[in-house]
Structures are given as C-alpha cells and as structure tokens.
Amino acid sequence: MIPEAAAARGLTRASLVLCDGANDMSAPKDRRKAELSFETLNVHKEGAVLFIEISASPMNLLGPELVRDLVSLIQQAEADESVKVLVFKSADPDYFISHVDVTRIKENREPATKLTGEPSLGLLLRYLSASRLVTIAQIEGRVRGVGSEFILACDMRFAALETAIFGQFEPSFGVIPGAGGAQHLARLMGRGRALEVMLSAQDYDADLAERYGWINRALPAAELGDFVKSLAHRIATFPAMGHAVVKERVNAICLPTVEDIRRDSDLFLEGTRTNEFQQLTQHAFENGFQTRAAEIDLAKLVYDMQAKTDL
Amino acid sequence: MIPEAAAARGLTRASLVLCDGANDMSAPKDRRKAELSFETLNVHKEGAVLFIEISASPMNLLGPELVRDLVSLIQQAEADESVKVLVFKSADPDYFISHVDVTRIKENREPATKLTGEPSLGLLLRYLSASRLVTIAQIEGRVRGVGSEFILACDMRFAALETAIFGQFEPSFGVIPGAGGAQHLARLMGRGRALEVMLSAQDYDADLAERYGWINRALPAAELGDFVKSLAHRIATFPAMGHAVVKERVNAICLPTVEDIRRDSDLFLEGTRTNEFQQLTQHAFENGFQTRAAEIDLAKLVYDMQAKTDL
Amino acid sequence: MIPEAAAARGLTRASLVLCDGANDMSAPKDRRKAELSFETLNVHKEGAVLFIEISASPMNLLGPELVRDLVSLIQQAEADESVKVLVFKSADPDYFISHVDVTRIKENREPATKLTGEPSLGLLLRYLSASRLVTIAQIEGRVRGVGSEFILACDMRFAALETAIFGQFEPSFGVIPGAGGAQHLARLMGRGRALEVMLSAQDYDADLAERYGWINRALPAAELGDFVKSLAHRIATFPAMGHAVVKERVNAICLPTVEDIRRDSDLFLEGTRTNEFQQLTQHAFENGFQTRAAEIDLAKLVYDMQAKTDL
C-alpha cells in the first residue's frame, strides 16, 4: 500500500524501501524491495519495522518539507497493517532535529493541518503519540526545541551517551515551547527539573537527560543502533492488539490532553508576535542562529547575546 | 485475635507465629508464640511487624490457594490493632511471585471476591494499598506479571541488586496487565519508560528497576534483609495515626482509582478470551511456560516462540 | 522601591543590599547599593537576582520572625520589576531551615495570613511557587519538616553532596506534613518513595535525595555556590514573559491545588491537637528536640525516644 501511494505522489529525493523478507538477504533485490520517496526522510523497512532517517539539509531544521513528509509517512504507515514500529534517527551526526525553522513557522502550519485539521505542530505530534504505531527515537547529536518535542511525542527515547545534546530553549526567547514540550517535561521530570530545563534554556547531555527522565536511557554510541534495532524487532514480534491497549491505557494517564497542547500552541504563537520575541530573533540571527557552526553551542549563543544587550 | 481465627479455619501447612515479646528472646517459646497456619504463607510476628514468606510450590505462581491466603492474611492483620507493618518476601530464591497461574485465572476470581465484593485481583491489590497497614516488599528472584503488580501495590519496594528480576510481560501475549500494572508503572516512571517496559516485555534487573522508579531502591542481597527489617520496625515504632493520614493523602494523589483498576481488569479478561491469546498461551506451554527452568529466561521464551512463528 | 519600603518598616538587624550595576564592580559602593533590613534574612542584590541568606539564630527554626520577613521579602520583591530571580541559602552551615518552631505554631499563623488571607504556611509557600519570581534553593546542612516544604515550594533545588540532609519527619509525631510536603513529594517521587520518606521519618543525604527526585541535583559543595549563581544570572538574563508563561503552564500540571494544601494544613493542625502529639512533643523536648546538638541526628532522636517508650 505504501509504495503505490508514494508513486502516486511522485516524490523523488529520498526513498522508503519496503523489504518483503528483511531476514532473507539472499532474495533478489527487485523482489524484496519497493521504493517510496520522501524529500527529507530516508525510509527503510525490515519486517514490521520502519527505520526512518531524518535528512533535511543543511541542519535538520523543522520546515514545511519535513512537516509534509512526516505527515505523509504517518498516514501511510498507519494505513499499512504490516507496519507496527517506527524508529526515527538522523542522517546528520550533529543534529537530530535542530529546532523549528523560525523563518517558516507560518509555512509549517498548512502541511501540519492535514493530519488533525488544526495547524498545530503539537497536535500533529500528539496524533503520533496516540497512534497504534509504536515509535522509538534513536538520538545522536543535538535535539532542541521542537526536536525535543518530537522525541517526547515518541513512545520511547534512547540516546548516545557521547553525542546527544538536549535543549528546550524557547523560554530564552520569552516564549513557551509550542508543541507540547512543557507538558511532557513537567509530567516526566516533575516541577523542579522541568522548570530548570526550560527557564535555564541550557544544553543537557544524555547522562543528565536520563537522570532527569527526559529519555528512557543513555547508551554508548557504539551500542545504540543495535540496541534500538533489537528492541524494535522484539516489540514488532508481539501482537498488535497488545500495543494498542497498552498505549491507550498509558496515554489515558500520561499523554497531555488536546486542550493542553492546543493552549501551549496558542501561547507560543502569541509570544512570537511580540516585539520582544521579534527583536530577540533578529538579534539571534545576527549572532549565527540557524547556522551549523553557531548552534553547536546554542546555549552559549542565546545567553551571550542577551547578557551583552543588558550591559 | 489472629491465632484464634486461624485455629477456627483449621489451616495446617504453613504458620503464622505470633510473638508477644519479640525482643524478649529469653522467654520460653511456648509462652511467646501462637500459631496461625496458611497453605502458602509462612508468617512470623515480631512486635508490630508481620514477616510473610510466600511459599507456593513449585514456583510461586499466583493461584487460588495463594489468593485465598492473602485475603485471609489481610483481613486478620487489619483486624488486629497490634499489627502495623507487613513485610512480604519469598521462600523461593528464584521466584518472588512468578506470575498468575494462567490455567487458573477463573479459579482466582472467587477467593478474590471476598475482600472487595468484586472478582478482580487488581481491586484486591488496591484494597491492600488503601489499607491502614504499611506494606513493604523485599524482593529476591523473579517478580513478573501479577507479581510485579503485587509489589507495585505494596507501599514500598526494596530489591536484591544481584538477583531480583522484574517483568511486566503480559503485552507479549497481546493483553494489558490485568491487576493495575499499567496504572502504577505509568505513574511511577512516566510514559516513555512505562511503554518500554510493557511493550518490550523484557526482564529488568534491580539496578535499572531503581533508575526507572519501579522500586524504591536496589540493595546488595547481603544487606537487604537487615535493611528491610530495620525499616519495618522503625516505621512500626511511629504512631498509627501518622501512617493512616500519610497513606490517605498520598493515595489521593498517586493511587490508581477503582475505575481505572476495574477497566484494566476488564480489558485483560477481554484479551484472554481472544483466539490470539489462547493460541499464544498454548504455544508458550509447549515451550516450557510455567516451568521453573524455562521461566528463568522468560523474556527469551516469549520472544523466541513468536519470532520463530513469524518466519 | 524595595529600599524605601524597608526604611518605612524600620527593620534593622540584617539587610537587603540593592546594587544598581552588579557587573560594574568598579562603581563606588555608595552609588551601587541601598540597604533594606530584615531581622532573619541577609539580602544582597546583583543585577536582577536577590541572594537571600536565612539567618535565624540559633538554628534556623521557622518562627514568626522568619515568617514575617519572608512575607515582607516576597511582597517587596514581587513589587520590584527589576527583581526576577531569588536564591535562598543559609547562614548556618548545619541548618538550612531546621523545621517549624513547635512552640510557636500558633504565632506563625498571624504573619502568614498577610500574604494569602489565610493563616496556613502551606498557602504562603504555594503563593511563592505561583509567583512570577523564579526561586532557587541552594541547600547546605539540614533541611527538615517545613524546611523541606520550603525548598519544595521553590522552583528548583540544588544541594551540597557532602553536607545536605533532608527529612520529612512529621509522621514520626503522628501527623502529616502541614505545609504541602506530602503533596510535593508524592508528585516528585511517586507513591513508593514518598511513603518511604515520610513513614520512615529518616534522614536522606543529597545523593539519595537526587535519585528520588527530592532535589534537582546534588553537587560538590565546592562547586555549588558558583553553579547556582551562574544559573540564577543566566535565568535572569532571559525575558520575564518567558518565566511567567513557563511557570504558569508547569504549575497548572504539577503544583498542588489550594484545596490540597489547605486540607493538609487542616489535617496537620488536627493532629497537633491530639494527646499523642502533645505527649510525643514533650518527650522529644526532654530528649533535646530543638537544640543544635541533638538535632544533628534527629532521625535517631525520634526513633530512640519511641523505641524506648515501647519497651
């Protein structure tokens, strides 16, 4: 079902490879694989697991192309009963998802609308959380802002001890995270740590992210891929009816409500319309915001630019 | 009060020993002790603490004898104002409570009904959580399925670092844990870790169980018994009115509601009536399910039997 | 605004020093500073951060002088838009806040009323939690009872690994913590650990307090001050509108309700009126309660005095 739909959409740059017998590596390639292409995702199917590599050059900012592809991927994967688990990782070793492309917040809203009828990225992510599909984030590199919100919307999160960096830095621009970050962090790590993470707008390494409950576990980078692959296949082996009922009951307790997500989304947008946010954003761009080099230490960038301003 | 009631029930195999002066070890045994017998529990009283050893050969499966004894123990301990704290441990070094005896799920319902008027093990366990009695689980060996739910219903949980193994593996048979496991795990460890634990149906050692919040603390096996004994006597020394008010207020925040427990219980039973569950169970028995040797690595058993089937 | 108000109140013993240019250390002292005095607080302003040292000899018990000063400080800091972050620490290396002065529970109620219209310390602390001000507790020494509740009401908590000691020991006197401790602990650490902490009335070191989620992090004492100072200034650099919206949304999820705090407050007062509480308190005073030396090991004191009584 996925390949036909993809062919109909005529996408070309990246591809979803469907293997009919992933474990049967001797089978001829033309019989085992069909291709579905996305602009910003490399997708590979093994058994009931889709491995999805985020590849949105130059630094995996979340812009409309990635939003459109994620929506399309989710719709097609949900429609294909042979798919049970999605694993998300990054093609960029430094950036998993860097954050929303601040110059294209409005453009993101139209493709986001397709999934829930509302233009909120938070509701798009919540849709994924509530899906029958089991989702696993395999994190290397920086994951900040809506990137953090994306992994928080996944069902579980594993990160490379040496390289993963986490940040929910929106409050350094005077705004609440717009896609559910505050909701998830407060529920996962409690009031004190959630306030610290957001109000400090600091970078957190994987060890501290694990201790705070931001992720399930930090693992050595050399073991991460095999661990996640094995876990994904293990889960996919078990009955889909178990996935559905467990997700339904856990979500009933822990998943932020639609109203809470919508409210944060609205408050974020309100904040972005203030002069203060506009000025800070402009200032940030003057200091290298949304460039690979400067965002290696984004926590320093957002502080330095304002500490200097205050003087 | 307890000894008379026990005598009236005429139970014989195991015994509840009541010491009138636990600290006075020089007193003649016949004056210090009275016996109350259970079929599957060895009970020993020291001061205001009951030490209860679960002994349901051959592998501490939860069947109607153990349910009946637990109900009886809870009723008698609650009625005896000299009892303030219950410590649960296992007579079997490999299995604390292995899980429900799947061949006797229906049989368990009748004795469970005595405590709450409803035949749900989850409501039985919730009754214990809401009791004035303070309960401590001292865990060595495997504790899976309803065993995990039993310790989660206790007020606190301490486990042997070297030997304790935790699993909430019901979803590998396509069903939700039936006695409150999903409710407790979601509240204790948050959405990501609770989903991981249940969807993976993996075994977790005590160190990881502590990091995830499944247990209060993992302690070296050599220290565990003394630690729990000391803690139990310490708590028992403090006023009962403090126990009651603290439990009431904490339960008001953290204890799953009757409705939530009942709903999971119903969903579990629905799941067990499906062909898929029946077939998986039969398949599991063919692979050694409910035998001591095969369940040493139950996480492997449930995966292997389905991974092979899928090929 | 703060200095004038303080002058009007004519307080003398300690002082709030307001620096107009904290980073400009070359400015003449007389131009940079203004003083506001408190009886039990030493206050120093650097930029938008107030550093508040609790200094209520002889052992930082919470009595009416400290309550009055805290109320006054909060009111003045909230009214001064140049203040964004409050850092609380102790002038006493052994006691951050030891606990409420049990001989003056009634006296505390009048000054507490000024902030919320109700005489509950719990509601006073909740007012601080809900404030636009960001609050950080920097903990060295013992913090027990209402001291623990004070740091739990702060937005974040960092403690010295070598010296900080935590205790919520009220249940050893048969009562629930009166100012929100049960509410916060249950939400931060879950049912099992919250029950353990309160029912055991034990002392917890900073390492275990971090693992249980009682505090954000334990840090080496030698690094603690610099860490907190840097964090406070970092947060203060970011826009106040971000502080407000993040606190509002996180509090909506995690902050105990006014009703819950009020209920615990009432239950605490009911408990203190019982003969059992009165007798235990009297017994505790006979054993050194509310003296520096005896409270170094308060966990031992409360146990020994009752264990002996029981014999």
Q: Is the pLDDT of residue C141 over 90?
A: yes
Q: Would you place residue B26 in the very low, low, confident or very high pLDDT band (cuts 50, 70, 90)? A: very low
Strand order in the sheet with C142-144: C95-97, C142-144, C165-167, C204-205
Interval A53-63 mean pLDDT: 97
Q: Do C253 and A307 touch (CB under 8 A)?
A: no
Range 118-137 of C in CB contact (< 8 A) with B: none
Query: Which of chain A's residues have a Cβ under 8 Å away from the Cβ of C237?
Result: 303, 306-307, 310
Q: What is the pLDDT of residues B56-83, one digit of tens each?
A: 999 999 999 999 999 999 999 999 999 9
Check if C170 contacts B (Cβ < 8 Å): yes
Question: With a threshold of 0.80, does the pTM exceed it?
Answer: yes
Q: What is the pLDDT of residues C73-107, one digit of tens each?
A: 999 999 999 999 999 999 999 999 999 999 999 99
Measured distance CA(A166)–CA(A151) in Å, rounded: 10
| End-to-end CA, chain C | 60
Measured distance CA(B16)–CA(A41) in Å, rounded: 64
pLDDT at position A308 is 74
Q: Do B173 and A242 touch (CB under 8 A)?
A: yes
Pick from A9, A26, A2, A27: which is nearest to A17 by CA? Answer: A2
Check if C187 contacts A (Cβ < 8 Å): yes
List the single residue in C with minimal CA-CA distance to A188: C188
- The tokens describing B5, both together, are 């009631």
Q: Would you place residue B34 in the very low, low, confident or very high pLDDT band (cuts 50, 70, 90)? A: very low
Q: Is the pLDDT of residue B173 over 60?
A: yes
Alpha-carbon distance A173 to nearest alpha carbon in chain C (angstroms): 7
Q: What is the pLDDT of residues B82-93, one digit of tens each?
A: 999 999 999 999
pLDDT at position A207 is 98
Q: Is the pLDDT of residue B33 over 70?
A: no
Residue among A47, A231, A242 whose CB faces B172 most closely: A242
Residue among B154, B231, B246 whose CB faces C171 most closely: B246
Pick from B112, B143, B145: which is nearest to B128 by CA? Answer: B112
Q: Is the pLDDT of residue A257 over 80?
A: yes
Residue among B187, B234, B241 whose CB faces C190 most closely: B187
List the single residue in B with minimal CA-CA distance to C191: B254
Query: Which of chain C's residues have a Cβ under 8 Å away from the Cβ of A171?
Result: 238-239, 242-243, 245-246
How many residues does this entry show for chain B? Answer: 311
pLDDT at position A25 is 37
- The residue to which tokens 């959380």 are assigned: A129
Q: Would you place residue B2 in the very low, low, confident or very high pLDDT band (cuts 50, 70, 90)? A: very low
- HEC readout, B5-61: HHHHHCCCCCCEEEECCCCCCCCCHHHHEEEECCCCEEEEEECCEEEEEECCCCCCC
Backbone angle region of B201, left / alpha / beta, with phi > 0 → left and psi within -120 to 50 → alpha: left
Q: Find residue A157's DSSP bridge partners.
A: A137
Measured distance CA(A147)–CA(A168) in Å, rounded: 9
List the single residue in B with minimal CA-CA distance to C196: B156
How are beta strands A85-90 and A41-46 bridged, if at all?
unpaired
Q: Would you place residue B308 in the very low, low, confident or very high pLDDT band (cuts 50, 70, 90)? A: confident
- The residue to which tokens 């950080």 are assigned: C136
pLDDT at position C10 is 34
Q: Do B249 and C271 touch (CB under 8 A)?
A: no
Q: Do A187 and C247 touch (CB under 8 A)?
A: no
Report chain B's mean pLDDT, rounded to a whole number: 90
Q: Name the burial class of residue C31, with classes exposed (0-12), middle (13-18) and buried (19+) by CB atoms within 10 angstroms of its CB.
A: exposed
Q: Identify the weakest region by mean pLDDT among A11-15, B184-188, B239-243, B278-282.
A: A11-15
Residue among A174, A187, A195 whose CB faces C239 most closely: A174
Report chain C's mean pLDDT, rounded to a whole number: 90
Backbone angle region of C56, left / alpha / beta, with phi > 0 → left and psi within -120 to 50 → alpha: beta
Q: Identify the weakest region by mean pLDDT among A150-154, B15-19, C124-128.
A: B15-19
Interval A245-253 mean pLDDT: 98
Q: Is the pLDDT of residue C302 over 60?
A: yes
Contact A146, A112 (CB under 8 A): no
- The residue to which tokens 């230490």 are assigned: A297
- The tokens describing A164, both together, are 């993963």
What one-character DSSP code corresponds to residue A119? -
Cis peptide before A28 (omega within 30 of 0): no
Q: Do C254 and A190 touch (CB under 8 A)?
A: yes
Q: Is the pLDDT of residue C70 over 90?
A: yes
List the single residue in A with minimal CA-CA distance to C235: A200
Q: How far is CA A173 from CA A282, B39, B52, B113, C298, in A?
A: 11, 66, 57, 58, 46
Contact C216, A148 (CB under 8 A): no
Check if B187 contacts C (Cβ < 8 Å): yes
Check if C246 contacts A (Cβ < 8 Å): yes
Residue among B215, B231, B237 whose CB faces C307 most closely: B237
Interval A93-97 mean pLDDT: 98
Check if B194 contacts C (Cβ < 8 Å): no
Q: Is the pLDDT of residue B294 over 50?
A: yes
- HEC readout, chain C: CHHHHHHHHCCCCCCEEEECCCCCCCCCHHHHEEEECCCCEEEEEECCEEEEEECCCCCCCECHHHHHHHHHHHHHHHHCCCCCEEEEEECCCCEEECCECHHHHHHHHHHHHHHHCCCCHHHHHHHHHHCCCEEEEEECCEEECHHHHHHHHCCEEEEECCCCEEECCHHHHCCCCCCCHHHHHHHHHHHHHHHHHHHHCCCEEHHHHHHHCCCCEEECHHHHHHHHHHHHHHHHHCCHHHHHHHHHHHHHHHCCCHHHHHHHHHHHHHHHCCHHHHHHHHHHHHCCCCCHHHHCCHHHHHHHHHHHHHC
pLDDT at position C244 is 98
Check if B269 contacts A (Cβ < 8 Å): no
Count chain A–chain B contacts defined by CB atoms under 8 A. Answer: 109
Check if A17 contacts B (Cβ < 8 Å): no
Interval B121-125 mean pLDDT: 98
Query: Which of chain C's residues have a Cβ under 8 Å away from the Cβ of A186?
Result: 249-250, 253-254
Measured distance CA(C309)–CA(C311) in Å, rounded: 6
ipTM: 0.90
Check if B182 contacts A (Cβ < 8 Å): yes
Q: Do A191 and C250 touch (CB under 8 A)?
A: yes
List the single residue in A with minimal CA-CA distance to C157: A192
Measured distance CA(B306)–CA(A238) in Å, rounded: 7
Measured distance CA(A164)–CA(A218) in Å, rounded: 9
Q: Do A195 and C249 touch (CB under 8 A)?
A: no
Q: Is the pLDDT of residue A309 over 70?
A: no
Q: Do A231 and B193 touch (CB under 8 A)?
A: no
Q: Do B182 and A249 touch (CB under 8 A)?
A: yes
Alpha-carbon distance C237 to nearest alpha carbon in chain A (angstroms): 6
Query: Which of chain B's residues have a Cβ under 8 Å away from the Cβ of A47?
Result: 310
Q: Do C23 and A172 touch (CB under 8 A)?
A: no
Interval B215-224 mean pLDDT: 98
Q: Is the pLDDT of residue C30 over 90?
A: no
Q: Is the pLDDT of residue B237 over 50?
A: yes
Q: Report helix, strand or coil for B131.
A: coil
Angle, helices C240-254 vs A181-200, to 10°: value is 130
Query: Which of chain C's residues have a Cβ under 8 Å away from the Cβ of B155?
Result: 191-192, 195-196, 199
Check if B307 contacts A (Cβ < 8 Å): yes
Query: Which of chain B's residues have a Cβ under 8 Å away from the Cβ of A155?
Result: 191-192, 195-196, 199
Q: Do B174 and A23 touch (CB under 8 A)?
A: no
Measured distance CA(B227)–CA(C209) in Å, rounded: 18
Q: Would you place residue A36 in the very low, low, confident or very high pLDDT band (cuts 50, 70, 90)? A: low
| End-to-end CA, chain A | 60
List the single residue in B with minimal CA-CA distance to A253: B186
Check if B304 contacts A (Cβ < 8 Å): no
pLDDT at position C309 is 58
Interval C216-225 mean pLDDT: 98
Q: Is the pLDDT of residue C1 over 50?
A: no
Q: What is the pLDDT of residues C12-22, one digit of tens each?
A: 333 444 433 33
Q: Is the pLDDT of residue C28 over 60?
A: no
Q: What is the pLDDT of residues C244-259, one digit of tens each?
A: 999 999 999 999 999 9
Q: Would you place residue C168 in the very low, low, confident or very high pLDDT band (cuts 50, 70, 90)? A: very high
List the single residue in B with minimal CA-CA distance to C192: B156
Q: Identify the weakest region by mean pLDDT among C36-40, C169-173, C270-274, C293-297.
A: C36-40
Query: Which of chain C's residues have a Cβ under 8 Å away from the Cβ of B23?
Result: 311
Q: Is the pLDDT of residue C4 over 90?
A: no
Residue among B187, B189, B199 whose CB faces A246 most closely: B199
Q: What is the pLDDT of residues B137-172, one digit of tens each?
A: 999 999 999 999 999 999 999 999 999 999 999 999
pLDDT at position B36 is 62
pLDDT at position B179 is 98
Between C126 and C26, the more confident residue is: C126
Q: Name the burial class of residue A297, with classes exposed (0-12), middle (13-18) and buried (19+) by CB atoms within 10 angstroms of its CB.
A: middle
